[in-house]
């Protein structure tokens, strides 16, 4: 069966940077399962997998604009420590969810803690990076009616 919209696909992947440093992988673990065509993967990755079948291998290089976007300097800023009142053991590298004034949740990373304040970064950790995906298609099946109705795997 070939990958198309509303198929359930199991893949193994390795995500690396152009220098070959592994950023994420399913090697040695379970395959990653997703429903094709409902926005669970980067659109460029879904396009590369369209029409493939079990046993196929795909290599794709993703530029920042097709991945997690360019780094936006305005999403890195210093804020007062009082913003994190009640949060214990703040450390550089911590990932937290922050709410903007409209109540939208924005994931942030603590970049640094200085005497003047806390530097946060709201960019996706992979923003601004060229990414290389090595993907192996393990299995493809039709989604059930219930999975299609709910838009995710059951």
Structure tokens at 47: 């396009």
Inter-CA distances, 4 with 49, 60, 77, 101, 134, Å: 9, 18, 42, 40, 19
Q: Residue range 45-49: average pLDDT?
A: 97
- As a CATH number, domain 7-68+127-150 is 3.10.50.40
Q: Where are the domains of the chain?
A: 7-68+127-150, 73-121
Give the CATH number of domain 73-121.
2.40.10.330
* CA 139/CA 62 separation, integer angstroms: 23
With residue 25 as reference, give the H or E element that holds it. strand 22-25
Q: How confident is the model at residue 154 (pLDDT cuts 50, 70, 90)?
A: confident
84, burial (CB in 10 Å: exposed 0-12, middle 13-18, buried 19+):
middle
How confident is the model over 88-116, as pLDDT tens digits?
888 999 998 888 778 888 889 999 999 88
Give mean pLDDT, residues 9-28.
96
Distance CA 113, CA 111 (A): 7
Question: Taking Cα atoms as reference points, which of 116, 35, 128, 32 lies closest to residue 75?
Answer: 128
Find the mean pLDDT for residues 28-55.
96
Question: What pLDDT shows up at residue 82?
Answer: 86
Q: What angle do CA 8, 14, 16 make, to 5 degrees?
A: 135
């Amino acid at each position: 069966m070939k990958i198309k919209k509303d198929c359930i696909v199991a893949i193994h992947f390795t995500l690396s940077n152009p220098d070959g440093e592994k950023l994420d992988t399913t090697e040695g673990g379970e395959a990653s399962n997703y429903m094709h065509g409902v926005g669970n993967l980067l659109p460029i990755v879904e396009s590369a997998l369209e029409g493939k079948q079990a046993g196929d291998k795909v290599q794709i290089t993703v530029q920042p604009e097709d991945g997690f976007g360019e780094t936006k300097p305005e999403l890195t800023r210093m804020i007062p420590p009082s913003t994190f009142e009640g949060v214990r053991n703040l450390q550089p590298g911590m990932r937290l969810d922050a709410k903007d004034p409209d109540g939208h949740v924005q994931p942030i990373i603590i970049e640094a803690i200085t005497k003047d304040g806390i530097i946060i970064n709201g960019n996706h950790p992979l923003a601004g990076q060229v990414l290389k995906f090595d993907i192996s298609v393990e299995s493809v099946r039709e989604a059930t009616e219930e999975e299609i109705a709910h838009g995710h795997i059951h």
